[in-house]
Amino acid sequence: MDSATAKVAIVTGAGSGIGRAVSLALLADGWSVALAGRRIERLEETRALAGDAAGRALAHAADVADPEAVTGLFDTAKARFGRLDLLFNNAGTGAPPVPLEELSFDHWKRVVDINLTGAFLCTQAAFRLMKDQDPKGGRIINNGSISAHVPRPRSVAYTATKHAITGLTRSTSLDGRAYGIACGQIDIGNAATEMTQRMSGGVMQADGSIAAEPTMDVAAVAEAVRYMAGLPLDANVQFMTVMATDMPFIGRG
């Protein structure tokens, strides 16, 4: 993919973990990428890691839970790159692992605002660009999580939002058909990132016991997203699960 034919992506949560790995993989494939996240210094770190491809990366600080910040992100990306071919809705957060009845409203609301409302706001902004550009259309990939299928103990806010992402994915797929907008979801289990470091020390299981869980290289997730992103728009991976082979998922639900 040369500069004349480079496709354009926006990746949210691009300052670390899965978002960083996916951003670097897309840049290595020749994409131009708007790196979005709350901390500009982390986004600049991602950009620097792209090496020779850094010139095709735009670091833009934005809180996806803020409608004005989302508008600013998409306006800036359009001004810089001219169009949008891919949105990877990846930004997410969790709440403290406390009993359901003890979860504070503020923690609940912050998880919903980032994981669900943020993904909706970015999807809405992407629709507006993809419908009107020439050629029209594009692809949206939502980061669902294994928790879109089955919960972990004490994860009501995170699990509820990830189940809701599945509904967002399906509605986006349906509403996008008329405009050449494809939407799919990747459900990830135990990729080795900053968020999963605690798993090696043991996390609560459904029976209340504490057990260490296997993880997988985050590069496997980046490879999966690269595949989904690289498909022609007349083909779509609707749902994909990529997970550490030995993690306790199959059998826990």
Q: What angle do CA 18, 24, 25 make, to 5 degrees?
A: 90
Our answer to whether residue 158 is catalytic in this structure is yes
Residue type at 213 in one-letter notation: E
Q: Rounded distance, CA 232 to CA 229, Å?
A: 8
| Of the candidates 71, 87, 91, the residue with the CA atom closest to the CA atom of residue 31 | 87
Q: What stretches of 156-205 adopt beta strand conformation (E)?
A: 181-189, 203-204
| Of the candidates 125, 86, 84, 31, the residue with the CA atom closest to the CA atom of residue 229 | 86
Q: Rounded distance, CA 222 to CA 247, Å?
A: 19
Would you tell me how many other CB atoms lie within 10 Å of the CB of residue 75? Answer: 12
Contact (CB, 8 A) for 228 and 187: no
Name the active-site residue from 88, 127, 158, 249: 158
Q: Rounded distance, CA 69 to CA 10, Å?
A: 14
Q: What angle do CA 37, 144, 164 make, to 5 degrees?
A: 100
**Cβ burial, residue 51 (10 Å; 0-12/13-18/19+):** exposed
Residue type at 34 in one-letter notation: A
Q: Rounded distance, CA 7 to CA 211, Å?
A: 43
Which residues are annotated as catalytic?
Answer: 158
